[in-house]
Amino acid sequence: MSTSKQQPLLEVRNLRVEFPTRRGSLIAVDGVSMEIAPGEVLGVVGESGAGKSMTGNAVIGLLPSPGRVESGEILLEGERIDNLPYEQMRKIRGKRIGAIFQDPLTSLNPLYTVGEQLVETIQTHLDLSEKGAKDRAVDLLEEVGIPSARERIDHYPHQFSGGMRQRVVIALALCAEPRLIIADEPTTALDVSIQAQIITLIKKLCREHGTAVMLVTHDMGVIAETADRVAVMYAGRIAEIGPVAEVVKNANHPYTHGLMGSIPKVGHEVERLTQIDGSMPRLTEIPTGCAFNPRCTEKGPRCMVERPILEPVENSFVACWKFDPEGTGA
Amino acid sequence: MTEPLVKAKGIARYFDVSPPLLNRLIEGSKRQVVKAVDGVDFEIERGQTLSLVGESGCGKSTIARLVVGLYEPTGGSIEFEGVDLTALDNRKEEAKLRGRMQMIFQDPYASLNPRWRVQDIVAEPIRHKKMFDTRAEVTSRVGELLSQVGLSPADGEKYPHEFSGGQRQRISIARALASNPEFLVCDEPTSALDVSVQAQILNLMKDLQRKFGLTYLFISHDLAVVDHVSDRIGVMYLGRICELADTRELFSNPRHPYSRFLLDAIPDLDMTGKQRIPVAGEVPSPINPPSGCTFHPRCPFANDRCKSEQPELRDVDGTQVACHGVEENRLEPTG
Amino acid sequence: QAKELKFAFQGTLTSWDPYRLNETFTLGTMGNVYEGLIHRKPNMVIEPGLAVSWEIMEPTRWRFHLRKGVKFHNGNDFNADDVVFSATRVRAEGSDLKTRISADTKAIKVDDYTVDFVSDNPNPIIFSEWGTWNIIDKEWATANNAVTPQNVGGTEENYLTRHANGTGPFIMVSHEAGVKTTFKPNPNYWGKKQHNLTSVTYTPIGQDATRVAALLSGQVNMAYPVPVQDQARVNAASNASVLIGPELRTIFIGMDQFRDELLHSSVKGKNPLKDKRVREAVFHAIDIKAIQKKVMRNLSEPSSLMIAPSLTPISKDHYPRRAFDPAKSKSLLAAAGYPNGFEIGLDCPNDRYVNDEAICTAASAMLAKVGIKVKLLAQPKAKFFPKVLAPNLDYSMYLLGWTPGSLEAGNVLRDLFYCPRASKGEALWAKESRNKVGKGKFNIGGYCNPALDALTDKILSETNMKMRDEMITKAMGITVDDAAYVPLHQQALAWGVAKGVHVKQRGDNVFDWRYVMID
Amino acid sequence: MTAAARTVEGGGIDMNFISRTQDTLHRFLDGDVWYSFTQSRITIVAAIVTIILVGASVLAPFISIHDPFNPVNLNLMDSFTPPVWSEDGRWAFPLGSDDQGRDLYSTILYGSRLSLFIGFASVAFSMSLGVSLGLIAGYLGGSVDAFIMRVADIQISFPGILIALLIDGLARALLPGESHDEVMVYVLILAIGLSQWVNFARTVRGSTMVERNKEYVQAARVIGVSRLFIMVRHIMPNVMGPVLVIATISLAVAILSEAALSFLGVGVPPTQPSLGTLIRIGQDFLFSGEWWIVIFPGMTLAALVLAVNLLGDWLRDALNPKLR
Amino acid sequence: MIALIIRRSYQSVVVMLVVALLAFTMFRYVGDPVSMMVGQDTSLEQREAMRVSLGLKDPVPVQFARFVMNTAQGEFGISYQLGRPVAEILSERVPATLELSLVAALFAMLVGIPMGVYTALHPQKWLSKAFLTISLVGISLPTFLIGILLILFFGVLLNWLPTFGRGEVVMLGGWSTGFLSGSGVKSLLMPAFTLGMFQLTLIMRLVRSEMMEVLLTDYIKFARARGLSNKAVNFGHALKNTLVPVITITGLQIGNIVAFATITESVFQWPGVGLMFIQAIGLVDIPIMSAYLVLVALFFVIINLIVDILYHVVDPRLRVDGSGAHG
Ligand SMILES: Nc1ncnc2c1ncn2[C@@H]1O[C@H](COP(=O)(O)OP(=O)(O)OP(=O)(O)O)[C@@H](O)[C@H]1O
Ligand SMILES: Nc1ncnc2c1ncn2[C@@H]1O[C@H](COP(=O)(O)OP(=O)(O)OP(=O)(O)O)[C@@H](O)[C@H]1O
Ligand SMILES: [Mg+2]
Ligand SMILES: [Mg+2]
């Protein structure tokens, strides 16, 4: 699928994440497949509840209970990691896969200094002395752009501002130089100006360390700027995945198309924004066929009964019968 | 030009966040005051939309609350149809005027009482103002309002948690419309919503404005959204307005350095390859604002005057800007 | 070999000043360390104590010959000065034993070992309560600045509160009030040693269950009182048994007979209890056998008199008790004009006598059956006594117990039956002079029979014992006839004693260690 | 569900009402709280035990053998009858009789009734006091809040049981003797209630301060409704979740406090014993072999308190959305 | 911090005054001390004279003022019953209560906290459920009954443990301790268990619910995402954060332990201040009762202060040092 020939760093195949509830199973992620190459930024976008975070959580093996990977495979550098025992998976987390979560305010333990949390993480994964770990912590803080890091390392999280805290969180994710970073909405809680700083930082890391990033967000702007490729998720499924320019500018899937149209753009004078009527179905009430069919303006009879599969369309892959060669779509 | 519907003159709101007296005495800490809003002027014409943008903590919500009367202003006045609301001591009169303005809040999850049925939520202003005599009338009005915002009258039986975020925001709007207001204050009404839902709400708001001739004070941190909805825009920084201009003018020709930064920070969806220039530094603490122009620590054009003297909002070609640099004409032109 | 007596008692020994508190346990324990001029044997018979003999010189002058060669625990000699000193001190400010010697009695030292007691009126039983009037060493008390018993409300601690220096067979070693008090035998005791103890330890244990458990688990080898219901359990245990004996205290129900309208009753404008028939009805309603069997578990002796028969010349069956007869009770009530009964209050202590509250509850149920609806108010003695006793007299019926301090009937006739008035011609319990009532001050029901008063006056000054006995018999007959009170029973003593420990039980519940033998 | 079904069969009632009740019932049965209830076997047992005990004590006059609080019914000679299954047992006293000849089974029913009454009433009292003060303090803030919270601080700086003792002592002293027995129950309610209001007030104040800043409250303020209306109709329903949990726990504590107070001699009069008083009296007979006098009331009390606590536990978890 | 202490102290003074007033008011009514101080033969006139000399006849404000003045100087007067300075008696009795409360509190914490942690970490295991249910059974019976049942079982039937008292005590300076003798330690077991049981249950449940909340927080999730070991996450992060609220409640509970000691002490005839208080109530020994109440209030106040300080030590957010905030 990927245009690159080398072995993908992360490969997700047919991932299905379920939450058993009393009213039957809730399928949060349904048959998702994707790959990320080293140094690549894969953006994952979609509405709230589309299953973006659960995909990311499944990769680092931290699905909130009672969620579980029902089927599918997750491979990191060709090695299967979705079925590892807890202790082995723990050793991968932080070491080979780093994670950044949405809210920098709550991601740090308020009772420990930033330094303590860094040193603790470094020592978990790297064989360093207390002092070595501390030096590395200072380096990391400097790297993510925290001025006078040597002093600030002994401060508590509440003594940092939001943007600084998010940088600390990134530093923590970088402790052991992981090959892959799962960044779940790393900028949503931040102001626009700081958002730009963080995005720049992430991009710099990819460039300089060759780290691959799975960037989960619902902000198309951030994706457009940062990602190489983008996956659009809808109701637990991937609607479209492809190079960012193509998806943003030339959306193929009706949902992506609508999504792009609904984003107000500076300088584009429109009286009304494109609007997708209705809302994403609850995951317990996904209609048969294409999950998007109740809102789709181009749906055909097949969309109501049969679930579309990802098919290549130009440089992307799109899950829509519209592009089915048999032409049973619209 | 007719008289503006809403007019704020030098409104200010300070919050005392000092530690308790005893701590001040012993630890020698001083009184601390957050100047959340510090002397803001604006006018809104009937049927128009004024937007306020700015980063978190710059005082946007505080202004919204001042306008609808949730906060008492520390200084300045707010006029509605020429009547100074802050000076009014006839409570009935004030209630009557206040009834003509309503507010829509940011968080669709917190702005509806989870224990009330939707029909009761929407009917609350109606019941409070005793606008109808019979139950049936109230019910039918509620149904009408729900239809107006794109919900079904039958939804009134349900509780808020049975609705999605976008639907809830519609309920909020229905409630706000219930008392037939002329002026709506919208405090980030879409920032908690997905873009696709945001489009629905923004479209709805525009439709309603057209239909009822509503006047909006619209608050957001998203310049693209603001661009879409507003006639005029005020850019705020640390409790003050640093630039107030017509929408088109602001976007084509931002004058204040901070406005320029904000425009630069808009993510580039069109992939023109334009690099975002991150603004250096962070928003300073409103407890200890920098001296002079509060933006000077982050401003590349700052000089000594900026560090010591606070700029006033001045008219520059129909736009109001508070910047020494613009006044002195020493800023690089944009574009 | 150590022979340790470890005993537990319900109450606390608060002070070691012998005159501080007129209370049985305190004085009884004190009696093992201190001694009076006389001593009571286990059967209560008086024997010489620090006095070897006494005689009546003239009706108002008694002469006491003191024992020679007796030493206090600190080594001081015992002599007449100590007796005279003690006679003064016992009547001094702060003493709770002022009545031991009447105010008009003078103690006069005749020689070092002879003391005369001279009073204005003849007193045939002058020394009957002297078993608990302990003699204090004059030099020691003076040296320690304790010539009077502790000054209540003062701020200084009285030296005698925690120090004891008697002539008795045991020496107090340590005292932690409310925790533990330890003793050792007095090696220089003048008398014959009848015990084989090497030490004595006393622990107060307030909770019944804990006390019994302490005995059963062997942590103490004597504990009293044993709750009546636990006697079977203790007897069944392999290591202890209950020693039972009659006690001298009489438990009775008193009734308001002086007010014109009862305080806590549905009857308004009159006082039904003034009517003898009503008092008899109350009497007949009480099933004393049931109380004896169920509440007291047979550890009581139903009584027809207000005094234990053993303290009187009257034989046990001389005055039979009014029978339990609800039918008769009802008809008496009807005859008195209360065919449907009435409502009345009953005040009761709940921590004073054996199963006091249970007795009251049972009595309430029995009275209810004949139509007297009782509103029972059972409270701790701290609140019960001030409410019921003079000057408040706030009750309409009450339960009380009485042991005559002198252990004979004169005291009962004087305190419980004499018309309670401060001076002749005044109303009974006249409000303004309640505090001045002398004779009859515990006759709180206000029973009054002038004929009985006259007889009582004679008894109190009669020195001819035979005539006195006859008069007592007659007087008691009057009280029975008038149904002045409803006597219930004499409660029994129940001491829990470990196997191998032999004690002698005294009828007044005094534990005299002189006679304790441990195998 | 069966209840609703029966109502429908009954017919003749306003159909609208039925459908609404049905609707509410259906919503409830469909709700998460009910679901979590059905999932926890121990909670179901606890609920059944509670219902049985509460039901039995409410129905005490109808299902008891005699009224043990009426002395006419007592016969001292019946006392200490062992339970019916032992050798000397009698059918008139299925669980045996106590030291006054009261049928233990009936006495337990009446005693539970009293204990539950004291428990419920004192919780109702402390709850209304605590919730109102908490709402006022949390909503108005400022000096009102400071004052109420200082009072609460003082109150909490002193053990509840001692507060109860103090109030009890005061009331006993101030009230005339006759009215004692009648009012004693209310004095206990007051005493126990007063020692618990702070829990409610603090919780409600905390939640109120959170709710006060929520936008639905501000929306109501913008509409212009009165403060009282906001407190009572808007905020109160939203802060009642934790209150309910505290109330259950408080109920258990109140019932036990009454028992503890009775041990210290300040409980209800022994002629009308509560469960606690029964146990206090009964423990005198533990050594003497009349175990049933303390064991049966003890078991009833334990079952009651345990069941209520378990319900409270479950409620705490069920109402906490985060733990669901 | 100093401000905190000062504020606390001044609040404490208010608390103490209110307690004093309450205690004082109540004692006017608990009964007649004089009738408890004398035998039944004492005449009414003598009784009246005693009331006067005890100051019971003075106007109430005068009595209160005297009471507060004396109390402030640590002068509680002379016990009516024991005839000794109350302060002295208290100082003899306090060690017993403190040792008992300390052991009970330690027992409650050292057992309760691990149990709470276990039940929070393994909510589904049967052992957790057993802990939760069994501990509830323990608090569903009145304390006094538990005590008596323990005595009956371990004291009388098995004869393993002493049924009452403190056993052998050793004097260390002015402090009598039961820790240093075998019988002293044995005597402690049952009372401490009885007293600690209730608090244990409370602490366990508190720790459990707080910990379960903490385990759901983002920083725990993030700690796991950093690959920290379970031990580091559960104990280093979750438990420490749990302890912040636990400290407050536990502090108050320790105060309650001292208060509840009255019942336990009277069941086990434990010679502490609680037992003394109960005895004093029965005997209307007003100086002892007031001193006890003031002592308990003081205890609460001190514990509250310690808790506040601990709180500040544990939670850096409460430390006002101002440095670096809002960088
Ligand atoms: N603990 C849970 N129990 C049940 N369902 C859950 C749980 N956590 C998540 N889900 C469901 O999984 C679905 C996917 O959630 P996910 O967090 O991946 O969405 P998302 O795309 O990240 O949304 P957002 O933008 O709001 O973060 C959601 O619909 C949600 O309802
Ligand atoms: N009640 C209050 N007490 C003290 N400070 C306050 C209060 N309300 C607001 N502030 C302070 O006033 C400043 C302005 O707050 P405001 O909520 O108006 O900002 P905002 O622009 O709406 O930010 P956001 O985008 O985060 O909503 C902030 O620094 C805030 O901390
Ligand atoms: Mg997400
Ligand atoms: Mg805001």
What would the pLDDT profile of C284-314 be if each residue is shown by its tens digit?
999 999 999 888 888 888 988 999 888 888 8
Enumerate residues 179 to 198 of chain C having a beta carbon within 8 A of any beta carbon in chain E: 179-180
**Span D217-225, average pLDDT:** 89
Atom index in ligand 2 nearest the CA of residue B71 equals: 1
Whether C239 has a pLDDT exceeding 80, the answer reads yes
Per-residue model confidence (pLDDT) at position B108:
84
Per-residue model confidence (pLDDT) at position D12:
43
How far is the alpha carbon of B131 from chain E, nearest alpha carbon, in Å?
46
pLDDT tens for each residue of A123-154: 988 888 999 999 999 998 888 888 888 888 88
In single-letter form, the type of residue at position A321 comes to W
Q: The complex's ipTM?
A: 0.80
**Number of A–B residue contacts, CB under 8 Å:** 118
Name chain E contacts of D153, Cβ cutoff 8 Å: 11, 15
Taking the centre of ligand 1 as the mean of its atom positions, its distance from the CA of residue D275, in whole angstroms, is 51
CATH: 1.10.287.610, 3.40.630.10, 1.20.1630.10, 3.40.50.300. Which one for A10-96+176-323?
Answer: 3.40.50.300
Per-residue model confidence (pLDDT) at position C199:
92
pLDDT tens for each residue of E263-295: 889 888 888 888 888 888 777 777 888 888 888
Per-residue model confidence (pLDDT) at position D3:
38
Q: Would you say how long chain D is, in residues?
A: 324
Is E78 part of any domain? no
Distance between CA atoms of residues C471 and C9, nearest Å: 39
Per the model's pLDDT, the better-predicted residue between C517 and E77 turns out to be C517
Enumerate residues 305 to 364 of chain C having a beta carbon within 8 A of any beta carbon in chain E: 351
Is B79 part of any domain? yes
What totals of helices (H) and strands (E) does chain B contain, helices first? 12, 12
Name chain A contacts of E227, Cβ cutoff 8 Å: 90-95, 121, 124-125, 176
Name chain D contacts of C357, Cβ cutoff 8 Å: 270
pLDDT tens for each residue of A282-292: 877 888 888 89
pLDDT band at E26 (very low <50, low <70, confident <90, very high): low
CB D288 to CB C230 under 8 A?
Answer: yes
- Chain E nearest-CA residue for A157: E317
Per-residue model confidence (pLDDT) at position E42:
66
Cα–Cα distance list, B25 to B28, C46, E2 (Å): 5, 80, 11
Per-residue model confidence (pLDDT) at position D157:
66
Same domain for E10 and E101, yes or no, is no
- Residue nearest ligand 2's atom 11 by CA: B36
Is E139 part of any domain? yes
Per the model's pLDDT, the better-predicted residue between D121 and B87 turns out to be D121
Highest mean pLDDT of the ranges A105-109, C65-69, C504-508, E175-179: C65-69
pLDDT tens for each residue of C405-463: 777 888 889 889 999 888 888 888 888 877 777 788 888 888 999 999 999 988 888 87
User: Is E295:E74 a contact under the CB 8 Å cutoff?
Assistant: no
CA dihedral of residues C164, C170, C172, C175 (deg, nearest 10): -120
**Span D207-236, average pLDDT:** 89
Number of domains in chain B: 1
The residues near A157 (Cβ < 8 Å, ≥ 6 apart) are A105, A108, A109, A110, A114, A165, A168
pLDDT tens for each residue of E97-121: 988 988 998 898 899 989 999 998 8
CB E142 to CB D252 under 8 A?
Answer: no
Regarding the beta carbon of A102 and ligand 1, being less than 6 Å apart is answered: no
**Span A106-111, average pLDDT:** 87
Per the model's pLDDT, the better-predicted residue between D188 and E58 turns out to be D188
Distance between CA atoms of residues E324 and A101, nearest Å: 24
Per-residue model confidence (pLDDT) at position A2:
43
Distance between CA atoms of residues C409 and C306, nearest Å: 9
Per-residue model confidence (pLDDT) at position B333:
66
Token pair for residue D42?
A: 């121990």
In single-letter form, the type of residue at position C53 comes to S
pLDDT tens for each residue of B52-94: 998 888 889 999 999 998 899 998 999 988 888 888 777 788 8
Residue E166 has a CB neighbour count (10 Å cut-off) of: 26
CB D216 to CB B99 under 8 A?
Answer: no
Q: Where are the beta strands (DSSP E) in chain A?
A: 10-21, 24-36, 41-46, 68-76, 79-80, 97-100, 180-184, 212-216, 229-234, 237-243, 311-313, 316-318
Whether A241 has a pLDDT exceeding 90, the answer reads yes
Residue B277 has a CB neighbour count (10 Å cut-off) of: 13
Per-residue model confidence (pLDDT) at position A55:
92
How far is the alpha carbon of C341 from chain E, nearest alpha carbon, in Å?
33
pLDDT band at C393 (very low <50, low <70, confident <90, very high): confident
Whether D7 has a pLDDT exceeding 50, the answer reads no
**Domain spans of chain A, in order of start:** 10-96+176-323
CB D76 to CB C366 under 8 A?
Answer: yes
Same domain for E198 and E240, yes or no, is yes
Number of domains in chain E: 2
Taking the centre of ligand 2 as the mean of its atom positions, its distance from the CA of residue B259, in whole angstroms, is 20
Whether C170 has a pLDDT exceeding 90, the answer reads yes
Mutant choice from C96, C133, C152 vs E, greatest count of E C-beta within 10 A: C152
Regarding the beta carbon of A286 and ligand 1, being less than 6 Å apart is answered: no
How far is the alpha carbon of E41 from chain C, nearest alpha carbon, in Å?
7
Top mutation candidate among A15, A19, A101 for ligand 1, by most atoms within 8 Å of CB: A19
**Span C485-495, average pLDDT:** 90
Taking the centre of ligand 2 as the mean of its atom positions, its distance from the CA of residue D238, in whole angstroms, is 25
Regarding the beta carbon of A46 and ligand 1, being less than 6 Å apart is answered: yes
Average pLDDT, chain A: 86
Is E84 part of any domain? no
**Number of B–D residue contacts, CB under 8 Å:** 48
Name chain B contacts of A224, Cβ cutoff 8 Å: 267-269, 271
Regarding the beta carbon of A103 and ligand 1, being less than 6 Å apart is answered: no
**Span D73-80, average pLDDT:** 80
Is B120 part of any domain? no
CB D284 to CB C209 under 8 A?
Answer: yes
**Domain spans of chain D, in order of start:** 39-61+105-319
Average pLDDT, chain C: 87
Distance between CA atoms of residues C92 and C147, nearest Å: 9
Threshold 0.90, pTM exceeds: no
CB E29 to CB D169 under 8 A?
Answer: yes
pLDDT tens for each residue of B129-147: 888 888 889 999 999 999 9
Per-residue model confidence (pLDDT) at position D23:
64
Task: Give the three-state DSSP class for A302.
Answer: helix
Candidate from B266-280, D268-282, E279-293 with smallest mean pLDDT: B266-280
Per the model's pLDDT, the better-predicted residue between A162 and A53 turns out to be A53
**Span D220-240, average pLDDT:** 89
Expressed as residue numbers, the domain containing B205 is 6-100+181-327
Closest ligand to Cα B105: 4
Same domain for E168 and E257, yes or no, is yes
CB D264 to CB E278 under 8 A?
Answer: yes
Subunits adjacent to chain B (3 or more Cβ pairs under 8 Å): A, D, E
Q: Which residues pair with A237 in a beta bridge?
A: A234
Same domain for E66 and E177, yes or no, is no
Name chain E contacts of A159, Cβ cutoff 8 Å: 323-325, 327
Write out the CATH class of domain D39-61+105-319: mainly alpha
Token pair for residue E116?
A: 């709470």
Name chain D contacts of E260, Cβ cutoff 8 Å: 159, 161
- Residue nearest ligand 1's atom 10 by CA: A28
Same domain for E104 and E55, yes or no, is no
Per the model's pLDDT, the better-predicted residue between A240 and A5 turns out to be A240
pLDDT tens for each residue of C362-389: 999 899 989 999 888 887 777 788 788 8
Distance between CA atoms of residues A57 and B43, nearest Å: 49
Q: Would you say how long chain B is, in residues?
A: 335
Task: Give the three-state DSSP class for D240.
Answer: helix
Residue C182 has a CB neighbour count (10 Å cut-off) of: 17
Closest ligand to Cα B221: 2
Q: Could you give the angle at the alpha carbon of C190 between the alpha carbons of C187 and C192, nearest 5°? A: 85
Atom index in ligand 2 nearest the CA of residue B17 equals: 4
Is B242 part of any domain? yes
**Span C454-478, average pLDDT:** 87
Q: What percent of chain A has pLDDT over 70?
A: 96
Same domain for E200 and E97, yes or no, is yes
CA-based nearest residue to C490, from C223, C281, C227, C308: C308
CA-based nearest residue to D111, from D247, D264, D269: D269
- Residue nearest ligand 2's atom 28 by CA: B57
CATH, residue B33: 3.40.50.300
Expressed as residue numbers, the domain containing E244 is 93-318
Regarding the beta carbon of A19 and ligand 1, being less than 6 Å apart is answered: yes
Is B211 part of any domain? yes
**Span E183-198, average pLDDT:** 88
Top mutation candidate among A15, A21, A26, A218 for ligand 1, by most atoms within 8 Å of CB: A26
pLDDT tens for each residue of E219-274: 898 898 888 888 888 888 888 888 877 877 777 777 778 877 888 898 888 888 88
Token pair for residue B1?
A: 């030009």
Whether E77 has a pLDDT exceeding 80, the answer reads no
Cα–Cα distance list, A273 to A246, B201, D69 (Å): 21, 10, 79
Token pair for residue B275?
A: 């690099």
Residue D174 has a CB neighbour count (10 Å cut-off) of: 10
User: Is A145:A97 a contact under the CB 8 Å cutoff?
Assistant: no
Q: What percent of chain E has pLDDT over 90?
A: 4
Same domain for E65 and E149, yes or no, is no
Per the model's pLDDT, the better-predicted residue between E35 and D41 turns out to be D41
Task: Name the helix (H) or strand (E) containing C374.
Answer: strand C372-379
Neighbours of ion ligand 4 (CB under 5 A): B 61
Whether E323 has a pLDDT exceeding 60, the answer reads no
Nearest to E266 among C97, C207, C383 (CB): C207
Same domain for E132 and E260, yes or no, is yes
Q: Does residue C111 sit at the E interface (CB-CB below 8 Å)?
A: no
Q: What percent of chain C has pLDDT over 90?
A: 27
Backbone angles phi, psi at A165, to 5 degrees: -65, -40
Whether E54 has a pLDDT exceeding 80, the answer reads no
**Span D110-115, average pLDDT:** 88
